[in-house]
A and B are shown apart, each in its own frame.
Chain A
Amino acid sequence: MFGELSHLALQQYWWVIVSLLGALLVFLMFVQGGQTLIYTIGKTNMERTMLVNTLGRKWEFTFTTLVTFGGAFFASFPLFYSTSFGGAYWVWMAILFAFVLQAIAYEFRSRPNNVFGARTYETFLLINGLLGTVLIGTAVATFFTGSAFSVNEMNQSQWELKSHGLEAALNLHNLSLGLAVFFLARVLGLLYFMNSIQSEEIFDRAKKHLIINAIPFLVFFLTFVIWLMVRDGFAVHPETKEVVMEPYKYFRNLLAMPIVLILFLVGVIGVLLGLGASIFKADCTKGIWAAGAGTVLTVFSLLLVAGFNNTAFYPSTFDLQSSLTIQNASSSHFTLTAMSYVSLLVPFVFAYIWYVWKAMNNTPIDEDEMQSDDIHVY
């Protein structure tokens, strides 16, 4: 089946999968956003326990999606993996540290004898929520703004700046996406609290903070998108493979791929609907689904804009011709074919996640459950 597809078709298929994983990751970062709001929304110990526990039952999905996103990128576009991870060393290391802290924080937080105290582990969750979102957003923005690296004839890459990735955080366009992701994660976190916890106080406080966080999200998101539409992009000549700067490249990509444009617009509307309904309707608890689906569609379409329509998805500002495209950075035809068969498992994975999610979230978390003898409480 897959073996008969051209190498380019497989490369495009894998870019779609990687983009989808990236999009799901951004949606699942509602966990990170929620982690930055534990003390804002939770005023008593019990409230904070409920907030931590509702997030704690989902944090592994985000974590696993990040790991799978990394693994899928490695398998399908190994030159990106070697160039970006080995080059933008400090950004990835900071992201790593943020996630290492998260992984133990939930389990250790409420255990007796945990050495550092619950506050420390809650601070770990805050660090993860802050750094994880801002830095991942910033790193993804370099797909459009470029980084200073070169790739030699043996496909070995070299980063050309001593700051090894930290420079990305100083670029305002990158930062606008980093902050947009941060506030989006907080918005989604609030919507998830409203959906999964049975507490009027938490619901009301979450609703109030929704407006406070939605405004900066919209400001930073619009800044990023408008800037993206008007900036020059890294275009690849379809025949010679030469990389050149093209005015309005990303805007032109959207126009050249109407389906992607529709996905993008539907996604943005989804986020706005989820937000609007939760802010203006009295007892709306379902906003997370519209906003979540909208987030997935928006991020998915933005990543397609980065890699499709003869565009370099990981451009080099140091040497344009070193820029990575889905064609020059990909795995071989054989490996992509083998991996494509594995990708057939993905719908099955979605199905059991959906089933388990529904079974576990059937009844919202409440105080009684936190005091129950029968379950594991963070």
Chain B
Amino acid sequence: MLENIDLSLVNWSRAQFALTAMFHWLFVPLTLGLSFIIAFMETIYVKTGNEEWKRITKFWMKLFGINFAIGVATGIILEFEFGTNWSNYSWFVGDIFGAPLAIEGIMAFFMESTFIAVMFFGWGKVSKRFHLTATWLTAAGANLSALWILVANGWMQNPVGMKFNPETARNEMENFWDVFLSPTAVTKFLHTTTSGYVLAALFVVGISSWFLLKKRHVLFAKRSIVIAAIFGLVSSVMLVATGDGSARDVAKTQPMKFAAMESLYEGQTQAPLIAIGLFGKEHDDPMNRSSEQEFLVKIEIPNMLSYLAFLKVDAFVPGIKDLVLGNEQYNIMSYKEKILRGYEAQQTLKAFKEAKGVDEAEYGRLKAKFDDKEWVENYFRYFGYGNYYDPNPEQLELNAFKIVPPISLSFYAFHIMVILGGHFMLLFMVVLWLIYRKKLETNKVVLYTALWTIPLAYIASQAGWIVAEVGRQPWVIQDLMPTMTAVSKIDTSSVMITFWLFTITFVALAIAEVRIMVKQIKNGPKEGGHN
């Protein structure tokens, strides 16, 4: 069945979506966090009436505006791409996935776009308090939009609250609250937004450190650092806590992603966590790969992975091989069996469609299967695996190994994200300590570190996206729909053209954005309010 798939179309469509999503995600985290930092600053201004705080607020607001525009520009593409490039997906899950997107528009985008106009153009036109309210509502709107898109994403990673309707050949929502309050959605929202807060705090601390290094606008820089570092420290504690929750959720709902994040081939009890690891030469034969063969360098923390995943040091963490080949001892079904069951579910749907209007008795019997909870739980839940079916048993076994995400990319992305997350928390502590001791201005090492941590924040943020989205491959909807079947049936050449058009546009916009941003920063707060 795999031979019916045009893989070049799938890969170009994936590349286009990844390009857009990753480019969008360069700008969104700063919007999420900076909106709150600005709101804190303006609150102090309104409370104290001190014009210096207004100057500080307006400087960061200016940078916020430049960043915001490009985030909006790329956001619209993502929404439309669900339809243009993933039309089968749009139908198969549109009944559930569309709702959060619509709510995002009605609830969040209008709030954001209405009040951002007051934030930028309302100085002097509306009262101070109304202006401050608008700034807070802009922050709330931005974060609400993150909520809804992450609820949608969480559902793709862990589909809940729905039932398959064979008549319409799609999944239909049964329980809104199950979708909205799914632990996957909740942890994803909290972890992703707090990562944005940390990035924004690092952005403010880093740029302010540059002013301190240049001995310009010292009071402005120190005040900005205090606000951002406190916000950053609180956020990074939340980031670690939600990251921990998120990892546990992945271990439970997406065990293959979890195994890939740690490159764990053979499952084990008392599994160690790899703190630092470097891969050697990869082996081509998936059947004979092992964790030990993979690494050149590996530093482990004993028992930590078992504890991280299941809060028990002697818990069994399944490895890639356990998941693909099955493990009777731990009651893990093999992918081969899942493929066979998924194939049966797909054939049942096909037979149901063929029986419609032809054989009413057969039609009724097959329809009843989709209402039978036991059949749904034992067969339909593996629906997507059916796409890997092959009548040749040997090929089928090999196909099972195709349901494994890219290991090294998932592993490195996860470890880079975690290591950098630790660095960020430490940096906020050091900065606050030095501010408290009144020694920050003279500590060039810390100031330079803060400055150069800005790009690291972006790397960590992108790495997080890779862990979430590459780690779940080949699924677009976990276990139900592989990415390859979600794609729109268009010519590969069309997607290639739009991919390159987007690439050229994004590169041009990014160059303009960075140059404008750098110029505004160099101008400093005095010139930052307008021009």
Contact = CB atoms under 8 A, between A and B. Distances in A.
B489 A158 contact: yes
A343 interface: yes
Interface in B488-520: 488-491, 494, 498, 501, 505, 508-509, 511-513, 515-516, 518-520
Given A115-B511, A156-B88, A359-B130, A353 B114 contact: yes
B90 A70 contact: no
B105 A71 contact: yes
Contacts of A157: 87, 91
Contacts of A362: 125
Interface in A84-136: 84-87, 89-90, 92-93, 96-97, 99-104, 106-108, 110-116
A63 B519 contact: no
A12 interface: no
Contact of B90 (A81, A158, A162, A359): A81
A365 B332 CA distance: 68
A299 B62 CA distance: 38
A99 B73 CA distance: 7
Interface stretch (A140-148, A267-275, A369-377): A369-377
Interface string A39-83: 000000000000000000110110110111011101110110111
Nearest to A88: B84
Contacts of A1: none
A25 to B, nearest CB: 12
B107 interface: yes
A332 interface: yes
Contacts of B75: 67
Given A79-B91, A100-B73, A104-B70, A67 B105 contact: yes
A170 interface: no
Nearest to B515: A113
A100 B508 CA distance: 12
Contacts of A374: 123-124, 529-530
B241 interface: no
Nearest to A353: B114
A360 B76 contact: no
Given A68-B102, A155-B169, A349-B106, A82 B531 contact: no
B122 interface: yes
B173 A345 contact: no
A164 B490 contact: yes
B524 interface: no
B65 A76 contact: no
Given A100-B505, A155-B168, A93 B98 contact: no
B498 A103 contact: no
B524 to A, nearest CB: 13
Contacts of A86: 83-88, 90, 488-490
Contacts of B77: 96, 100
Contacts of B89: 82
Interface string B64-81: 011011101111110110
A58 B39 CA distance: 23
Nearest to B72: A103
Given A104-B69, A164-B494, A359-B125, A113 B117 contact: no
Interface stretch (A204-212, A252-260, A333-341): A333-341
A332 B94 contact: no
B496 to A, nearest CB: 12
A85 B84 contact: yes
Contact of B115 (A79, A112, A356, A372): A356
A71 B104 contact: yes
Contacts of B516: 108, 111-115
The binding surface of chain B is classed by DSSP as helix
Contacts of A339: 99, 102-103
- Classify the interface of chain A: helix, strand, loop or mixed: helix
Contacts of A96: 76-77, 80, 84
Contact of B172 (A103, A335, A342, A353): A335
Contact of A342 (B61, B84, B107): B107
Contacts of A64: 105, 109-110, 112-113
Contacts of A108: 66, 69, 512-513, 516
A74 to B, nearest CB: 4
Contacts of A331: 94-95, 98-99, 172
B290 to A, nearest CB: 41
A111 B172 contact: no
A157 B91 CA distance: 9
Nearest to A333: B172
A230 to B, nearest CB: 33
A97 B169 contact: no
Contacts of B79: 67, 70-71, 74
Interface residues of A, number: 79
B147 to A, nearest CB: 13
A159 B489 CA distance: 8
Contact of B494 (A90, A103, A114): A90
A342 B102 contact: yes
B375 interface: no
A82 B83 contact: yes
A377 B116 contact: no
Contacts of B111: 349, 352
Contacts of B513: 104, 108
A82 B76 contact: no
B73 A74 contact: no
B96 interface: yes
Given A110-B531, A111-B531, A78 B91 contact: yes
Contacts of A164: 490-491, 494
B369 interface: no
A356 B120 CA distance: 13
A343 B105 CA distance: 11
B128 interface: no
B118 A359 contact: yes
B176 interface: yes
Contacts of A106: 69
Nearest to A346: B106
B458 interface: no
A356 B96 CA distance: 33
A154 B356 CA distance: 12
Contacts of A345: 106-107
A81 B94 contact: yes
B101 interface: yes
B170 interface: yes
Contact of A82 (B62, B87, B106): B87
A153 interface: yes
Interface in B347-376: 349, 353, 356
Most buried by B among A61, A115, A343: A115
Given A78-B95, A97-B501, A164-B490, A92 B73 contact: no
A72 B105 contact: yes
Contacts of B292: none
B121 interface: yes
A115 B515 contact: yes
B293 interface: no
Contacts of B170: 78, 155
A362 B118 CA distance: 13
Nearest to B67: A107
Interface of A: 57-58, 60-61, 63-64, 66-68, 70-72, 74-76, 78-79, 81-87, 89-90, 92-93, 96-97, 99-104, 106-108, 110-116, 153-159, 162, 164, 331-332, 334-335, 338-339, 342-343, 345-346, 349, 352-353, 356, 359-360, 362-363, 372-377
Given A110-B531, A356-B134, A360-B125, 9 more contacts: A64-B105, A70-B80, A71-B105, A84-B83, A92-B83, A93-B498, A107-B65, A334-B172, A373-B529
Which A-B residue pairs are the 5 nearest by beta carbons? A85-B83, A86-B87, A78-B94, A68-B105, A75-B98
21 contacts: A57-B121, A60-B113, A67-B109, A70-B79, A70-B83, A71-B98, A74-B79, A75-B102, A76-B102, A81-B98, A89-B490, A104-B69, A114-B515, A155-B169, A159-B490, A164-B494, A331-B98, A339-B103, A359-B130, A376-B65, A376-B121
